[in-house]
Amino acid sequence: MAAVKKAGPRTGLKLGPEYKRAGHVLLHAPSPHKLFGRVPIRHVVLMQMRFDGRLGFPGGFIDPKDGSLEEGLNRELTEELGPGATAAYVTENDYISSWVMENPQKIEGHFYAKQMSLEDLEHLEEGALHAKDHGLEVMGLVRVPLYTLRDGIGGLPAFLCNNFIGKAKEQLLEALGCLGLMPQNKLEEAVWASQK
Ligand code: APR
Ligand code: MG
Ligand code: MG
């Protein structure tokens, strides 16, 4: 898979009709809660356990019948997350970066991030059990722990040791950094701890 192209106008990627298009999104909401009453949760960040046993972001292939990339992505979100996806409506303004895959099939992918209120995000989580693709393409939603526990590995470092689809891990780290969802030094420490 080619290197991720950094944020810019997403129309900057014009690869031709032989490339299938895909769109995925990181949904997040600020959280005032503390784990064990002392570890700040900071933000709820959603990923999903996929049908292939890997972690990834909600979204999927854009159908040629979809009016636009974002329309296709929003359709995928409704299928994978249920009716609560309307509160996560993604627009061009939510674009972050793109990726290109050549093998086994040619795909150009586009990655977005969208902030929601905690209330809307929790409502989405509740409704996701009734989504069309629940138990099929989507085995369940997961929240990403944005902290490191006292043992130095529990939390984000251990989470990063999971198996991720495509560039999903790099996209997660990119978004946590560029959206300011975690202090840069804490993010770097967690990545380093996950590689030990
Ligand atoms: N980074 C890079 N590639 C990714 C990422 C990511 N974060 N997330 C998904 N992909 C790739 C997947 O490998 C897949 O080939 O993008 C493609 C489409 O994403 P999915 O979410 O898997 O597609 P979806 O439309 O939801 O359909 C699920 O059904 O038609 C089948 O096999 C097809 O994988 C597809 C599945
Ligand atoms: Mg899908
Ligand atoms: Mg999908």
Q: Which ligand is nearest to the CA of 62?
A: 1
Domain extent for 138: 2-194
pLDDT, tens digit, 9 for 90 and up, residues 85-136: 999 999 999 999 999 999 999 999 999 999 999 999 999 999 999 999 999 9
Distance between CA 98 and CA 19 in Å, rounded? 13
CA of 36 to the centre of ligand 1 (A): 36
Q: How many domains does the chain have?
A: 1
Burial 67-79 (b: 16+ CB within 10 A, else e): eebbebbbbbbbb
Phi, psi of 144, rounded to the nearest 5 degrees: -85, 125
The ligand 1 atom at the shortest distance from the C-alpha of residue 99 is 2
pLDDT, tens digit, 9 for 90 and up, residues 128-157: 999 999 999 999 999 999 999 999 999 999
Distance between CA 4 and CA 6 in Å, rounded? 6
Structure-token pair, residue 37:
């009453």
Instruction: Give 67's DSSP letter.
Output: S
5 pLDDT higher than 50: no
Instruction: Give 36's DSSP letter.
Output: T
12 pLDDT higher than 70: no
For residue 28, give the 3-state DSSP assignment: strand
Q: Which residues line ligand 1 (CB under 6 A)?
A: 22, 24, 56-57, 59-61, 76, 99, 107, 109, 137, 165-168, 171
Integer CA distances (angstroms), 132 to 6, 26, 77, 142, 180, in order: 33, 20, 10, 18, 33
pTM, to two decimals: 0.94
Report the CATH number at residue 151: 3.90.79.10
